[in-house]
Amino acid sequence: MIKWTAFTIATLAVALPAHAQDARVEPDHIVAVLKDAGYPAEVINDDPGYRQILSKTGEYQFLVEMYDCVNGKACETLEFYSNFPTEEKQTKERLDAFPGERGGARIALDRRGEATMREELDINQAGGLSDAQFIDELKAWETLVKDFVAYLTQPAGAAPAAAAAADAAEAAAGSAPAQVSDAS
């Protein structure tokens, strides 16, 4: 029976086109990439099917979560995750009103009423996810976290800092719209 099962699995694996096979990431490699880029990285969940790495950007902690892992390695899903506990509970409407660029991040309330953010990375792109692409995604995540925290720490209804700065710059420029010259 074991030989038949192995043969069937091998046959199916060969029968699948290359683009249908999922790319995988190795948790130990992600830890090394984070550390090489100057981020702290500690595996905090050794479950064979679900791995978590705790890291930090500035003063904000986040998780690199990996799902659908085979024996704690070769994970099919990679995402960034962070929660944002605040003294004042957030509302779905307030989170939906976040004016910043979200990229592919999803912002929601967890079961405790805390704001959370998660972003799944595309590891199935042509050639997989390179270390440089991972770091680029991490830098974008870092910016998103900072912008989101700045938004959450403003009183509800206050103008976002970036919009307020843009309004001030426009007022200083005399409220005239910028002119673009056509050099062609």
Sequence-ordered alpha helix ranges (H) in 16-130:
27-36, 92-96
How far is 103 from 120, CA to CA, in rounded Å?
10
Q: What is the pLDDT of residue 154?
A: 86
Cβ proximity of 154 and 160 under 8 Å: yes
Q: What percent of the chain has pLDDT over 70?
A: 72
Q: Is 140 in a helix, a strand, or coil?
A: helix
How far is 55 from 9, CA to CA, in rounded Å?
37
Question: Residue 88: which pLDDT band, with cuts at 50, 70 and 90?
Answer: confident
Q: What is the pLDDT of residue 180?
A: 33
Q: What is the pLDDT of residue 22?
A: 56
Q: What is the pLDDT of residue 5?
A: 33
Residue 44 or residue 174, greater confidence: 44
Average pLDDT of span 148-160: 78
Residue 126 has pLDDT above 90, yes or no: no
How far is 126 from 110, CA to CA, in rounded Å?
34
Cβ proximity of 51 and 43 under 8 Å: yes
Residue 4 is encoded by which pair of tokens? 């038949």
Report the predicted TM-score, pTM, of the whole model to 2 decimal places.
Answer: 0.71
Q: What is the pLDDT of residue 164?
A: 45
Question: Residue 158: which pLDDT band, with cuts at 50, 70 and 90?
Answer: low
Q: What is the pLDDT of residues 91-112, one digit of tens each?
A: 999 999 999 888 889 999 999 9
How far is 113 from 124, CA to CA, in rounded Å?
33
Domain residue ranges in the chain = 17-156
Question: Residue 157: which pLDDT band, with cuts at 50, 70 and 90?
Answer: low
| CATH number corresponding to 17-156 | 3.30.1460.10
